[in-house]
Structure 1
């Protein structure tokens, strides 16, 4: 089979398409999946670029979607022909996070081989069903960014109709968060440094738009938009460079979902302002298999479809897809399909 591997020490120039042995037949509790798509996430970019070291000749990518070809003995959840999508933390089936979820040792494409391959054999519990009528490329967006947005809004923030959600940027998490929030009856304030991308967020249902490159004090603008109440939920992807404005923007007793660190991994937190807001600041990394199953049911019910970049990439051009991602010109999700 063909697979895309990363040669040590990492770097986009060290991504290679290789021929590897077919994985064979599934054992007890396993399924064999013919993979057809993956989607790119910031975490994948960190691994591919060498910023996050991994083993030599690691098969890349945390997200994978495809079709079950064969189910081993003891598997009752899936059967041949089922369309499935991978899980980010295959060891986290349900409940609260535990020790091995605190790092990426068992995360595909990082601590173990990922899904940039034509076939895999994995325990059945490493997959869920894909949403009905979604393409493989659409389904592949669910594993990381889709589930992150769902957990931030629904699981952790307990989003309800009438709430106001503030999203930062126009990547996969923010776009999906906008779609989920609107489907649940919330108002959405979207931010970006690009008026063109803001226009696309408006087309998807954003109620208010802020260009943070022009308006550096966007936290106060959010307060003005909401008549001094603030945003009930903030989808915070910037990290230290944006956190102070997010705290300014959040409502009293509101929720800030700290998802990304695009502006760095350390910085000053205005703790007095956070205390005064009595807001909940919670970090999160993706979610459990149970959360993903709930998300799939919600997608089937709402009819939401992911927003995918209009530039096509095949398995052999994964390196070019990462270059596109690094250029930060895309809107929504970059996917690779084969």
Structure 2
């Protein structure tokens, strides 16, 4: 072996290690401090926050690459983002189920898509035994059919445009909320729930897309979320439950205003990531149950019922 070949090999090992170490440290930083990522261009920060759990795939690839490189430094570097991922997500994956009785159960279901009919949705909704139901993205022309199909099980209901609330308990103070955009994105009502009145919000925030020219199109959603958060913060009701399609992960900075005022049922009583969309193979949780003055005793994502979203069923009780 010539002297120059030995030099080339000695110089190649640091370069091979750097190819693992640099992306590994960047991944770890993005996992632990995503809010430091700029939101320009293209709302990159929001997009990264939405897919944080899926960083595990990149980490697995790094570990395989480090093992192939055969250097201890590369393997150690790849373990740093793995440790960060485990710190963030293993507690949710291993959380024990919460025990205790529920005062009532609430269901949120975006019924959009081409495979649902009002009659089929009604059968599935009634079978869950939910006491309070929020349906989102109903075709306006189908609302009368939904009302008819659910009337026997839910004597109290309110609908506005594509949103609806159905309840076994009386509803009052029904209000359609204008959060910007061409249609109401929320309904607020007061439900005479077991354990005391609660303000309930049925919500569908504006949709988001990933486009080559614009990036992650979260502007209308973020503006609607901020308006909704302001209303929730001013709501005098001691108990609040928000049910709906927020078109984003709660880790997304655009939904931070809501997360400051309400607690996620998934964090209280859920296990795993609770992904809800797309229904056939969910990769992100965009359908949520958020609470104030109530606590979740159970919460689970139901199977694919024909929409492009999966429903979320949550058991609730007052905190005091």
For normalisation by structure 1, the TM-score amounts to 0.30
Structure number with bigger Rg: 2
Q: Return the structure number with greater helix share.
A: 2
> Structure 2-normalised TM-score?
0.32
